[in-house]
Amino acid sequence: MVTAQPVQTMRAMVFRRAGQPLHYDEQRATTMPGPGQVRLRVHACGVCRTDLHVLDGELTQPKPALIPGHEIVGRVDAVGEGVTAFSIDDRVGVPWLAWTCGECAYCRSGRENLCPEACFTGYQVDGGYAEYAVADARFCFAIPEVFSDVEAAPLLCAGLIGYRALRMAGEANRLGLYGFGAAAHIAIQVARHRKQAVYAFTRPGDRQGQAFARSLGAEWAGSSMDTPPQPLDAAILFAPVGELVPAALKATAPGGTVVCAGIHMSDIPSFPYRLLWQERAVRSVANLTRRDGEEFFAVAAQIPVRTTTTVFALEQANEALQRLRDGRIEGAAVLTP
């Protein structure tokens, strides 16, 4: 093992029980990296809606005394045995996908995002709401220099999931984005780079969000229950609201696809078959693959994608999460330990 300096304790925000705010721990024990792992000194960690699903108990299998956070950017300060991809002081990004078995049919067929044994950062593995984080080096990404630490953090989930959702949506000329938050404000930049026309749907009455979408190149922006001026070829739902599925189907042309991009969604209400008829499709996006990350970071650096962020100190994590819940974050929230 190679280490830059001995560190025994750190500051961290800890999840104890669903429905409670995170606990601020000033003396959390640090962990040294094992074989194949690296330890990072965290410089930035994005705040994601998935973190809210953990805090609310909608994701039901978190590790005990969990440190949330899965959009981590930091510098390597310790390297475990066998790691050759990264060295001390390399800048590294850690995403949601923390580990897969590498042996199941899904892993062997390039669908490691569906591995039944997979573990996830900030859920079954401690994440980045802390000064240090340990990760499997195989699942980390080098961060292009064009991005600062804070700019890069939202790319590691909002960006990656948005990119996978865009792939699932296909080559839509007219693309609808439902829920204009962290993921959508990145996805629209990739879509516009591809010359796709984007139609943005926000919470009813969210004129600020609609103006934000238009500033990023949306052809049209309106309420999530509005009918767009043109039928959509595809729609992506970033908002975890099941009732938006039939609304998006209604707005989508024959042969179109509605992609549900969240890890959790409220129940989808019943709807008439005519909304699905004419070869419309509804599909979900689950997690990400390392290939998604490699492709996305290359495209994001080429564009280059620019993330809009609001920065919070580590101990302000609960405030950041509440503002995200209330829809009071333009773009993405990022903690800077």
Confidence of residue 251 (pLDDT cuts 50, 70, 90): very high
Give the residue ranges of DSSP H helices in 203-309.
Answer: 207-215, 244-251, 290-302
- pLDDT score at 6: 62
Options 3.40.50.80, 3.40.1010.10, 3.40.50.720, 3.20.20.140; CATH for 160-284 is: 3.40.50.720
Per-residue pLDDT tens digits for 277-314 = 999 999 999 999 999 999 999 999 999 999 999 999 99
Q: Does domain 2-157+288-335 have CATH number 3.90.180.10?
A: yes
Pairing of strands 332-335, 309-312: parallel
Boundaries of CATH 3.40.50.720 in the chain?
160-284
Cβ(73)–Cβ(149) below 8 Å = yes
Q: What's the rounded Cα separation, in Å, for the pair 154 and 199?
A: 22
Cβ(69)–Cβ(335) below 8 Å = yes
Per-residue pLDDT tens digits for 109-148 = 999 999 999 999 999 999 999 999 999 999 999 999 999 9
Cα angle vertex 53, ends 59, 291, to 5°?
80
> In the chain, which ranges are E strands?
2-3, 9-14, 23-29, 37-47, 72-79, 91-94, 97-99, 119-120, 132-136, 141-142, 174-178, 197-202, 220-223, 232-237, 252-260, 281-284, 309-312, 332-335
Q: Hey, what are 135's tokens?
A: 């990760």
Q: Hey, what are 233's tokens?
A: 């070829």
Q: For the chain, what percent of residues have pLDDT higher than 90?
A: 97
Confidence of residue 4 (pLDDT cuts 50, 70, 90): low
Boundaries of CATH 3.90.180.10 in the chain?
2-157+288-335
pTM over 0.85: yes
Q: What's the rounded Cα separation, in Å, for the pair 28 and 9?
A: 5
